[in-house]
A and B are shown apart, each in its own frame.
Chain A
Amino acid sequence: MPVIEISQSIDARGLSCPLPIVKTAQAMKTLRSGATVELIATDHGSIKDVAAWCRATGNILLEQTSDGAVYRFLIRRT
């Protein structure tokens, strides 16, 4: 399995909806196409929100994992 290089990590733990998505959108603006962002969040809404945001904006949700109530997403900028 190829190693995914993370360009930027966003620690959104403790932030409530929709700030994890806002931080992700802000980060994406500064990155080049193909770059990957890691988002770590505790907002339960982020499970559905990140997937919906990726669908709407055309970015790619590469990976989604959870460790208890902490969610981790890898998103590639298109």
Chain B
Amino acid sequence: MDDPLNLVLFSGTDDKLQAAAVLTAGAAALGKPVNIFLQYWALDAFRADRIDRDHGLAPEAGQSGRAAVDALALAGQAAWADTLRQAKELGGVDIQACSLSMDLLTLEPTDLDPLVDGVEGVTAFYLNAGEGQVVFI
């Protein structure tokens, strides 16, 4: 359980971010460290002024997928950002923004939600990943 789980988040739609949040919270509950590296549209979804907004769904969701996700939300399913906040409360979850994506989106660290712990490059990400699995979402 000591090797970290390393998630590279690329997609910025709510369904993929929800899946990533569930993987993160489950690992954190087991005491497994989690490193999250935010790139491209996933990073955009972590902007402080947009994190709680609707980020849409992956194209394969379609209309019926949209309806299913809405029904779960109405039934009280926590938003992905809330699930990540709970996971961070358990400790061991580190969320870093990719410095290249910060440039691409012309973001400053102050533009990001407090869930994000810092900005780093891919080398630092690999160093922290150690021998743990790397999952790209």
Kindly list chain B residues whose C-beta atoms are within 8 Å of the C-beta of A23: 86
Query: In the complex, which residues 9-31 of chain A have their Cβ closer than 8 Å to any Cβ of chain B?
Result: 14-19, 21-26, 29
B99 close to A (CB within 8 Å): no
CA–CA, A29 and B90, complex, Å: 8
Q: Are A22 and B1 in contact (CB under 8 A)?
A: no
**A22–B86 touching, CB < 8 Å:** yes
> Could you tell me if B75 and A22 are in contact, using CB atoms closer than 8 angstroms?
no
Cβ proximity bits A25-67 to B, threshold 8 Å, 1 near / 0 not: 1100100000000000000000000000100110000000000
Output the least CB separation between A29 and chain B (Å). 8
Which residues of chain B are within 8 angstroms of A18 by Cβ–Cβ distance?
A: 22, 25-26, 29
Within 8 A of A (CB), among B1-43: 1, 22, 25-26, 28-31
How far apart sit A23 and B25, CA to CA, in the bound complex (Å)? 10
- How many chain A residues sit at the interface, stated as a range, is 10 to 19
8 Å CB contacts to A: which residues of B73-115? Answer: 75-78, 83, 86-87, 89-90
Tell me the minimal C-beta distance from A38 to chain B in angstroms.
17
What residues of chain A lie closer than 8 Å to B29, measured between beta carbons?
18, 21-22, 24-25, 53
What's the tally of chain B residues with a CB closer than 8 Å to chain A? 18
Contact of B87 among A14, A22, A24 (CB under 8 A): A22
Contact at B1–A14, with CB atoms within 8 Å? no
A15-B28 contact in complex given A26-B89, A56-B1, C-beta closer than 8 Å: no
**Sample (22) of A-B pairs whose CB atoms are under 8 Å apart:** A14-B75, A14-B76, A15-B78, A16-B72, A16-B76, A18-B22, A18-B29, A19-B83, A19-B86, A21-B29, A22-B25, A22-B28, A22-B29, A22-B86, A26-B86, A26-B89, A26-B90, A29-B90, A53-B29, A56-B1, A56-B31, A57-B31
On A, residues with C-beta under 8 Å from B are: 14-19, 21-26, 29, 53, 56-57
Sample of 4 further A-B pairs with CB below 8 A, known A19-B78, A57-B30 = A19-B25, A26-B89, A53-B29, A53-B30
